[in-house]
Amino acid sequence: MQRLPKAVRQLVEKFERLPGVGPRSAQRLVFYLLHNPVTELEDFADKLLALKRETVMCSACHNIAESDPCSICADQSRDEKILCVVEQPLDLLALEKSDKFHGLYHVLHGSIAPLNNIGPDQLYLRDLLKRLDGVEELILATNPTMEGEATALYIREMIATSNLKNKDNINVTRIGHGLPIGADIEYADGVTLARALEGRRKI
């Protein structure tokens, strides 16, 4: 590694920080880019910068979008009485592909994971309470993992111990059949997600 040019080493180190990219994969990506024309690299660099410059976080649901509010929150045809909680924006996109959910979303940007030093304060959990006025059903669509289950239970307890006037009228459900334990929502197909939404249960 030390024999590689400095610019190559530095970019390899950057790629290694990406999830799922190991040292060998990082080196292959860098050498692939190295063989591309300068114009292609400049375009690639522009797209990376645009990723931050041309996207915003929706102040309502915390989805990543081009405008605030996002197109889903701004859609008046959506059912505001149903709110679906997901861990990541990719989970929201996956559920939208099922074409079975027409309510609103709330994106947490993670799940409670004590081993990774991620607690409730690192997620958009407190903002969720502010959005429950008028909500009749809250669907907890966190991933069926230990962290996802812990997050779902935390949300249920958070609502139960809150000062919300309508908390007794909120039907809190958990995404149901169709997703195997240990699976991530973003990798599930539309049919599986449709069945999971239809089979949600009260917790």
Residues of the chain with pLDDT under 70: 1-2, 177-178, 191
Which structure tokens are listed for 188?
């599930």
- 79-202 has the same fold as 6-51: no
pLDDT at residue 201 in the model: 75
How far CA 88 is from CA of 11, 35, 103, 124, in Å, comes to: 27, 34, 17, 11
Chain center to CA of 175: 15
- Looking up tokens 């929706």, which residue turns up? 58
pLDDT at residue 145 in the model: 85
For domain 6-51, the CATH architecture is Orthogonal Bundle (1.10)
Q: Are 105 and 69 in contact (CB under 8 A)?
A: no
pLDDT at residue 2 in the model: 62
* Distance in angstroms (rounded) separating the CA atoms of residues 200 and 173: 6
What is the topology classification, in CATH, of domain 79-202?
Dna Topoisomerase Vi A Subunit; Chain: A, domain 2 (3.40.1360)
Residues near 43 by Cβ (< 8 Å), separated by ≥ 6?
A: none
Query: Hey, where are the domains in the chain?
Result: 6-51, 79-202
* Distance in angstroms (rounded) separating the CA atoms of residues 148 and 27: 33
pLDDT at residue 1 in the model: 56
pLDDT at residue 24 in the model: 95
Task: List the one residue out of 39, 44, 33, 25 whose CA is nearest residue 7.
Answer: 33
